[in-house]
Structure 1
Amino acid sequence: MGLTPYPFQRRVATWLISGRNVILQAPTGAGKTLAAMLPFLDALEHDRDFPHKCLYAVPLRVLANQFGEEYTARVRRAGRDERIRVAIQTGERREDRDLTATLTFATIDQVLSSFLHMPYSQPKRQWNLNAAAVVSSYLVFDEFHLFDPDSTLPTTLEMLRMLKGVAPMLLMTATFSPEMLGELARLLDAVVVPEDDAAGEEMLQIPVQRDKRRFYHWRPEPLSADAVLREHGTRSIVVCNTVDRARALFEGLQRHPARGDTQLLLLHSHFLKADRQRIEAELLCRFGKDADPSGRWIIVATQAIEVGLDLSATHLHTELAPANAVLQRAGRCARYGGEGHVFVYDIESELPYTGMTDEFERTRSAFQERDGTQLTFADEQVVVAAVHGPRDRAVVEGLKASRSRHRAEMNVVLRGEADRAGGSRLIRDIVARDVIVHPNPDELLTNPWQVEAFSLYPGSLYGAAKVWVEREVELDLEWGVMWLREAATDESEGGRHVERWWERAWSSEDLRGAPLVVVNPALAGYDPQRGFLLHEPTGFVSPPVLRQKTEQYTRFYRLESYERHISLVWQALVQDTWPELAAAAARLEQRAGWQPGVLVRAAHLVALLHDVGKLNKALQRWYHNWQRAIGAPAPDAEAIAHTDYDELNPLHIEKERAMSSRRPPHAVEGAVAVAPLLVQALDPTHLPIIKAAFSAIARHHGPFSREFRAFELIPGATAEIARTLQLAPHLAVDVRGLRSRDTPDLTQIDRFWVDESNDNELLAYMLLARALRRADQLGTEWGAQAADG
């Protein structure tokens, strides 16, 4: 794709393709992203034994957006866009909710939540769909130093430890202390690049590093418009620690009499997508590598710019922050070579970096001592070690001491015993809340996320809500702030409808844990230049989200026989869903010491046996009653897998509500019925795989289903199953072992549930669950499309 790699980039690729995990520490602007992409693109081009799917995880969505757009353009220019699908998966841009793209740039929360069976991109009934996409991918973790040491970092490291030998992994950073690098390398059995001093010196001789001269200046006063304009030439970048500070400084610069003809841009996290993209495009045009040099420009931004856009300025002004953050920001100064000056200003508040007073003191001292000094990358690493070494040593010791406790907390989430907030604490301690502005929120209840939301950290939201509630009373509004509630549904079958309503917020405390908050337009507003205005009404209403093409879901079903459905699911598994998982399955078999090919055998079994529970007499009776109720009866002798159903058809909605009995569940019942067949076909010596297969069948409509009801299969069930098993005669299953009836006794199936504390067993379950659920979805979609036309 027109890429010319440096030696260190080639070495990263060589290590990864040889089977080693890698930690890359390189200066900002040195080309870490290209180093990460080389082995992956090479494997795709030459069909090498290396994952043909990459999950590239970043801590900030601006990075995911930038990389996604950059590599989409690269792939298109190279004429590979038919073979390589590039997607962005963040809370804002959900282009790859099922993680099926070839190359997905995602925020770290999307990756970790997917692995933990609570993906932020999916409804609860789909929570076990995405985990195996992580297991089967080449995993890249960029800007690793920004991961929260109490939540994101230990969860990521435990996940990577579980995946050693199955998923190749690359961790990248510019600012990690030697203590942290050493512990990560030991934990992940990884090679650190540069491997030695000579390799490190070689890295510093690449042109963009060799020609760079960056000077640091300490300023004991707070950052101000006066200070920025005093040093301003033609291009300046200003970085503040909070959105409020950035907006205040931007407004101060707007009003300043010495501003002259200098143009201003503000960038933070509280802009609508279209405005943020417009601003980012302008920034790249004025500050990018091939920027238009005319005019005089100043960017005012928050830390979102630290590791985001590929920008450069001769002057960079930053509020004091922990050293690694300051140095990341400094990476936007003289990024492409030449001379640059970084000005570091003292602060009055440490927000949002709570609990880091010692790091602030050490950073302050470090830059006071180096005032006016040119620092190389090696010099910057000395600062990082001095400032962050003590905490990193404590973090390393904490990781060692708390690994078993942290894994136990992960297991609670994997079992489905934690709520969303509990799981989120393993991903990031501070979970942003979505806020929208709308006058008639009841209009949105069918899909509340159909309008664009702003993400606010809890502290900011609660502070704003306190004022909103007070203003609601002052203005005598019918309502001021509400939050979304959802009724619990029967997850065993997924449920066709979710009941939602808005709950009035009487205080900021009411919003704790709220998934979505709506504010009356009389209380808040928006400006395209300044962003979301918490207490400045402008008549703004949150606009609709432009739905991505990849977010289409089957909303209708067509009458389909059991045999037809199973044949389509089998076809989908063999042609589509298992091939993406096969290489990871083979690596897992090798790591676990299992017989080669046993996992594909298990995948074939779960595809062919997953819906045996639908042959329950009570469920078949319900299906036939439904068809009669909508005026489209099916032949009495036909075993049905799907009925006609359209969620937008008023008749279907009316009849569903009028049905005298609920549709009986089938997933766990089916797993119980076929358990003897799984034991027979997989051999009792492969108990972990039997448990994984049983759990995949039992949970193919709900990730944590455990209970089952009494069932009795129809008289022709054995014949139906035997016919579908003819699709895979190599399985040689004797269907006479089928359990054709049972009554609930949960103790008898306890030994069949997957044990989430057993790494190999858990990964096998993840692979089988994804293979089955995606095949089931595809087969169902194909069946509905064929019936329609």
Structure 2
Amino acid sequence: MTTDVFKKITGHDPYPHQIKTYEALARGESVILCAPTGSGKSEAVFVPFVELRGRTLPNSMIYSLPMRALVNSLEERFKGYGTSLDVKAQHGKRAESVLFDADCIVATLDQVITSYVCAPLSLGVRHGNIPAGAVASSFHVFDEVHTFEPLLGLQSSLILAERMKNMAIPFAIMSATLPAGFISSLSERLGARSIDAEEHTIPARAKRVVTLRENLNEQLSSDRVLNLHNDHNGRTIVVCNTVGRAIDLYLALKDRVTPKPILIHSRYFDDDRAEKEVHIKRLFGRESKEKALLITTQVIEVGMDISCDLLVSELAPVDALIQRAGRCARWGGKGEIIVFGISCHAPYEQALINKTKTVVEKNKDQRLTWDLEKEMVNEVLEETFAEFAKPEAGARAMMYLSKAAFEGKPATAEKAVRDALSVEISIHDNPKLLGNRVLWLPRCKVHPGTLKQFFINGKPKLWRIEQDRNVMDDYHPQVEVILVKYANDIHPNGFYVIHSGYASYHPEEGLVLGKRGAPAEPVEPKDGLKDSYSKEIPHETWKLHALRTVDAFEKYILPGEDFVYSRLASCLPIEKEWLLSLIRLVLLLHDLGKLTEEWQKKIGAEGEFLAHSGNLANIKLPPHATVSAYVLRDYLRKKWDQVIGDAAFFAIAHHHSVRAAKVPRYNLCKRWAEEINSILSERTGIRLEQEEFRKLETQDSPTTLSNHIPAFEKEKTYNLYAILSRALRLSDRRATTQESEIG
């Protein structure tokens, strides 16, 4: 049966490691898959997800990768199988599923981790708990994990995997170059099944004969590359360790090689890069026989489905070398990889370079088989990775995750993924005139030190863009445009706009500081979160909106999340129906704070209590979400317990803006209890006794909620909060935009 499923979707019979992965996931087990490049690791998890979603797997899959190019390539591949799944890419330049609401989201790891802590990179922080709920409840695949920073991105992935384990939701961790001891330790710690591919079962690998050569006493030069390329008279890929080395080599060869060599690295804009990738795939693709020379960097180590006859590489850590070698004779046949020496170990650690040099010298002139690759990886990386497998290795990542969840700063969340620092820059003469559209300006990334130095020397007019620093109301996102006065006001991961008198951008040159240019134009995101309150909203009573919210949940959310709610209930542990009763109560009472004299007067209610009336963009209403939570907190804790009650409390408080905490003075309307009980008893069988709330019916002065968000360390409360928040906010949005019907 498994063979038939694979053949139906991919058109090919599965390899043994793909069958084992399918069978493990079908049993509800998690998987750690180690397989060589070109062995169908992605299909090993995609096919089971297509067939098992809603049964032994959640209905949504989040596939995390280290690079945007990989995301683009895999998203295209998954779509090419023609399944009924909604497959979307999610990264900084293709934010196609900011709410993580597609069936299959292929994303960069930073998008996933920052979203989990309610500080997403591609969405206003006020909406952060919507994607957080998806991350807390999906089938996760972490691929190419050897490329994740060991003490940051890798550890953040393991923290998330461990939380999935605790909810009995399967996950998959995959790589071609992880040490055996590390895999064994992870398997035991995470309760995951370890699966190792066998080379002889993969036809392309079995027929592949790649010989490892070394020339470590010599450094790469243009003359040497030219001679090697001409001698082989085929397709050659040269991999340098830095962008600067690649550019220098390209400039030295571009007029000496026919056809002209191609250069690709990490510093291209998306359209230019996409055009280059199409050209590279044509010349180095499966069907190509043309002579060609590609000069590149680490960007081709993972994800680019290309092959060459000769691969020339600077010395790099063993896992990087093996990934590079994966672009040689990728579909079988003969190939050769030649490793040259280097004068400087950067950007890699000297110890790893030294160990790799030893194993390359030891195995020179050998056929580079999968078994030899694993031996080399174990010899170089085993001792180092033994420390990374220990739970305490995640302390630094956990610190950043906790801090980011509390502060709501994407920059802090990003530190849990990588150490690399950057700032985003755009060009405009008066960004204040753009209002919220300033967030749509196209951006380039540079090192913050570069911008600081330019600010000191060039004295440009520069603005810092801040979003939702101080949430004052429930409906209107806040964007601040702040003039930068001092270099110390320039911080990593920030967004800055330079006056066009001091900077230019051209598709060929890119961003040039110190050269007069033209303002950039805002580009509306193709798939962003639209503000559902920016347009006219029909007149709607409070009771009708509450019922519509529950109806939207029953119709649109619950059918797809039944698997997750079952696992969540078992984890808490409570009966599933008791969990669903909680969710329905939260949905019905999320707008209790609108049943105040102040709110109803402001919206112009006469007679019936209102939830919406007219264009809210023109009315500044007092906060109501925090009032709802403030009134219900003690009741929720008493009715359930503190773990569950706090999660529901924060979900209600944050159903318009994460970390909202200010509670205005208020007076509940006289008939508030009568209004809510009329629908509570109908939909949940629960009735609130007004006497329990007497002390909370009036708040004479403004106050503040004691905490801004559940502590990230309190795993059960945090995950339940994220899942409840997502259900509430998506249901509320559907109800508000009249996309549901009361059944």
Q: TM-score, normalised by structure 1?
A: 0.85
754, 766, 784: which one aligns with 2:722: 766
CA distance in 1, matches of 2:702, 2:562: 33
183, 189, 208: which one aligns with 2:204: 208
The answer to whether structure 1 residue 377 and structure 2 residue 357 are counterparts is no
Aligned residue type for 1:243: V
Query: 1:522-575 CA distances to partner (integer Å, 9 max, x unpaired)?
Result: 76666656x636569695865654631455442224243212221221121111
Aligned-pair CA distance for 1:511: 2.7
Query: 1:657-715 CA distances to partner (integer Å, 9 max, x unpaired)?
Result: xxxxx6322112112323465457xx44x442222212211221222234423322112
The answer to whether structure 1 residue 51 and structure 2 residue 73 are counterparts is no
**Mean Cα displacement is larger for which, 92-101 or 32-41?**
32-41
Aligned-pair CA distance for 1:301: 2.1
Aligned-pair CA distance for 1:323: 1.3
- For residues 431 and 642 of structure 1, do their structure 2 counterparts lie closer, same or farther at Cα, with a shift above 3 Å needed? farther
Corresponding residue number in structure 1 for 2:46: 37
**Conserved in 1, the CA contact under 8 Å of 2:237 and 2:294?**
yes
Aligned-pair CA distance for 1:749: 7.7
Query: 1:583-621 CA distances to partner (integer Å, 9 max, x unpaired)?
Result: 112112223332232221111010000000011111222
Corresponding residue number in structure 2 for 1:447: 437
614, 618, 631: which one aligns with 1:673: 631
Query: 1:335-377 CA distances to partner (integer Å, 9 max, x unpaired)?
Result: 1111111122222333333xx1100111222223333332211
CA distance in 1, matches of 2:687, 2:299: 58
**Conserved in 2, the CA contact under 8 Å of 1:59 and 1:107?**
yes
**Conserved in 2, the CA contact under 8 Å of 1:129 and 1:769?**
yes
Query: 1:378-422 CA distances to partner (integer Å, 9 max, x unpaired)?
Result: 1111211222223212333xx4335567545533433x2464433
Unpaired stretches in structure 1, ≥5 consecutive residues? 195-199, 473-478, 625-634, 657-661
Aligned residue type for 1:512: H
Corresponding residue number in structure 2 for 1:185: 187
259, 268, 272: which one aligns with 2:265: 268
Corresponding residue number in structure 2 for 1:511: 490
Corresponding residue number in structure 2 for 1:631: none
Corresponding residue number in structure 2 for 1:462: 449
CA distance in 2, matches of 1:449, 1:244: 31
Corresponding residue number in structure 2 for 1:67: 74
Corresponding residue number in structure 2 for 1:484: 464
CA distance in 1, matches of 2:219, 2:521: 37
CA distance in 2, matches of 1:710, 1:540: 49
The answer to whether structure 1 residue 780 and structure 2 residue 732 are counterparts is no
CA distance in 1, matches of 2:486, 2:627: 45
**Conserved in 2, the CA contact under 8 Å of 1:677 and 1:734?**
no
325, 332, 335: which one aligns with 2:320: 325
CA distance in 1, matches of 2:218, 2:506: 30
- For residues 723 and 190 of structure 1, do their structure 2 counterparts lie closer, same or farther at Cα, with a shift above 3 Å needed? same
Corresponding residue number in structure 1 for 2:343: 348
Query: 1:434-467 CA distances to partner (integer Å, 9 max, x unpaired)?
Result: 23345665565532342332233x3xx4246525
Aligned-pair CA distance for 1:3: 3.6
172, 182, 188: which one aligns with 1:170: 172
**Conserved in 2, the CA contact under 8 Å of 1:323 and 1:383?**
yes
- For residues 668 and 524 of structure 1, do their structure 2 counterparts lie closer, same or farther at Cα, with a shift above 3 Å needed? closer
226, 230, 253: which one aligns with 1:229: 226
Aligned residue type for 2:548: L
16, 28, 33: which one aligns with 2:25: 16
- For residues 193 and 733 of structure 1, do their structure 2 counterparts lie closer, same or farther at Cα, with a shift above 3 Å needed? same
Give the 3-state SS of the residue equivalent to 2:465 in structure 1: strand
Corresponding residue number in structure 2 for 1:697: 652
The answer to whether structure 1 residue 562 and structure 2 residue 569 are counterparts is no
Give the 3-state SS of the residue equivalent to 2:130 in structure 1: coil
Unpaired stretches in structure 2, ≥5 consecutive residues? 1-8
Aligned residue type for 1:328: Q
Aligned residue type for 1:691: D
CA distance in 2, matches of 1:334, 1:524: 45
**Mean Cα displacement is larger for which, 595-604 or 240-249?**
240-249
Give the 3-state SS of the residue equivalent to 1:263 in structure 2: coil
Fraction of identical pairs, as percent: 27
Corresponding residue number in structure 2 for 1:630: none
Aligned-pair CA distance for 1:33: 0.6
CA distance in 2, matches of 1:300, 1:522: 35
CA distance in 2, matches of 1:157, 1:137: 15
Aligned residue type for 1:317: V
Q: TM-score, normalised by structure 2?
A: 0.90
The answer to whether structure 1 residue 717 and structure 2 residue 725 are counterparts is no
Aligned residue type for 1:186: E
Query: 1:132-173 CA distances to partner (integer Å, 9 max, x unpaired)?
Result: 201221110000111111211222212211221432100000
Give the 3-state SS of the residue equivalent to 1:317 in structure 2: strand
Give the 3-state SS of the residue equivalent to 1:573 in structure 2: helix
**Conserved in 2, the CA contact under 8 Å of 1:526 and 1:532?**
yes
Aligned-pair CA distance for 1:238: 2.0
Give the 3-state SS of the residue equivalent to 1:129 in structure 2: helix
Corresponding residue number in structure 1 for 2:606: 636
Query: 1:759-787 CA distances to partner (integer Å, 9 max, x unpaired)?
Result: 2232222211110011112211227x99x
Give the 3-state SS of the residue equivalent to 1:121 in structure 2: coil
Corresponding residue number in structure 2 for 1:429: 419
**Conserved in 2, the CA contact under 8 Å of 1:88 and 1:105?**
yes
**Mean Cα displacement is larger for which, 609-618 or 159-168?**
159-168
Aligned residue type for 1:67: L
Corresponding residue number in structure 2 for 1:627: none
Aligned residue type for 1:211: K
Aligned residue type for 1:434: E
CA distance in 1, matches of 2:312, 2:518: 33
525, 529, 550: which one aligns with 1:547: 525
Query: 1:248-267 CA distances to partner (integer Å, 9 max, x unpaired)?
Result: 222222133xx1x2232222
Aligned-pair CA distance for 1:270: 2.2
**Conserved in 1, the CA contact under 8 Å of 2:95 and 2:527?**
no
Aligned residue type for 1:692: A
Aligned-pair CA distance for 1:176: 0.8
Corresponding residue number in structure 2 for 1:363: 356
Aligned residue type for 2:610: I
- For residues 288 and 646 of structure 1, do their structure 2 counterparts lie closer, same or farther at Cα, with a shift above 3 Å needed? farther
CA distance in 1, matches of 2:572, 2:337: 52
- For residues 779 and 150 of structure 1, do their structure 2 counterparts lie closer, same or farther at Cα, with a shift above 3 Å needed? same
The CA RMSD measured in Å over matched residues stands at 3.0
299, 307, 314: which one aligns with 2:309: 314
Question: How many pairs align?
Answer: 724
